[in-house]
Amino acid sequence: MIRLNRYIAESGYCSRRKADELIKDGRVRVNSGVVRELGLKVDPEKDIVEVEGKQIKPFKRVVYIRLYKPRGYLTALGKDKFGKKTLTDLFREINLREKVFPAGRLDFDSEGLLILTNDGNFAHRLTHPRFKVDKVYHLKVDRVIDQETLEKMREGIELEDGFFKLDSIRIMKVEKDFTWVEAVIHSGKKRILRRFFKAFNHTVLRLVRVKIGDISVKGLRPGEYSYIPQSQIDRLLKKEGEDEKRDSFK
């Protein structure tokens, strides 16, 4: 017997977090009956599970893809009601036919590394704050960031939805009218980096995610993708597992 959200994730339909939302919304049926209990367990050999009217089964072949998401695309599948381009449009343009979903997201105006997969458990480990997977961003912000402001940034700041602190920040390059910085976080709410810099009176002009764990966007141009070897996925999971174990002893 396994938890229902895990069963849905292992089918490749979506991540465990998204599965929980579908269950709460009453869009999941088990043996023809609507279920809303998040902790419900099912028997993969006997129970029939339907999500949004479609019967699903655990997926056998897992796929991991790194994609350079260009600016101007929503990190969403399907059509956008306001006519904005989504990943579905991008998949058509680059002829990606794998049935995958994004493990995490990037804002419409942001670009860089997205990891696509049909492995819901891996997506859960990649995105849940508990596992503390580093996400590295390169940001171009307006004006020069002085040393005093940089130190205050390292201390963190109270935003409208709570206190937020970067894991690390360093200045990469300073020019007359802007500064390139590298920021590392392992979790964050919607548009958190843009809101963070805005709180220090700096506007983010460009935001590029360059790395998730040890998986890099290096070698890809906007709109390009490549498959991630299983060996690299295993190394990432092993490293994050060791980090989690160390943290539990602190």
* Residue 139 shares a structural domain with residue 203: yes
Classify strands 64-69 and 225-227 as parallel, antiparallel or unpaired: antiparallel
* Residue 146 shares a structural domain with residue 207: yes
Backbone torsions φ then ψ of 93, nearest 5 degrees: -65, -35
CATH of the domain at 77: 3.30.70.580
87/161 Cα distance (integer angstroms): 28
How large a percentage of the chain has pLDDT more than 90? Answer: 72
Quick count: other Cβ atoms within 10 Å of Cβ 46? 8
Q: Which domain holds residue 187?
A: 134-212
Q: What is the pTM of this model?
A: 0.77
12/9 Cα distance (integer angstroms): 5
* Residue 100 shares a structural domain with residue 125: yes
Cβ 56 vs Cβ 157: under 8 Å: no
* Residue 221 shares a structural domain with residue 124: yes
* Residue 111 shares a structural domain with residue 230: yes
Instruction: Please list the active-site residues.
Output: 107
* Residue 143 shares a structural domain with residue 125: no
pLDDT at 59 over 70: no
For 1-41, the pLDDT digits (tens) are: 889 998 998 887 888 889 999 999 999 999 999 999 998 99
* Residue 71 shares a structural domain with residue 104: yes
For 144-175, the pLDDT digits (tens) are: 999 999 999 999 999 999 999 999 999 999 98
* Residue 121 shares a structural domain with residue 231: yes
Binned at pLDDT 50, 70 and 90, residue 246 comes out as very low
* Number of structural domains in the chain: 3
139/206 Cα distance (integer angstroms): 6
CATH of the domain at 10: 3.10.290.10
* Residue 23 shares a structural domain with residue 84: no
* Average pLDDT value for the chain: 91
Cβ 170 vs Cβ 182: under 8 Å: yes
Domain end point (choices 56, 73, 95): 56
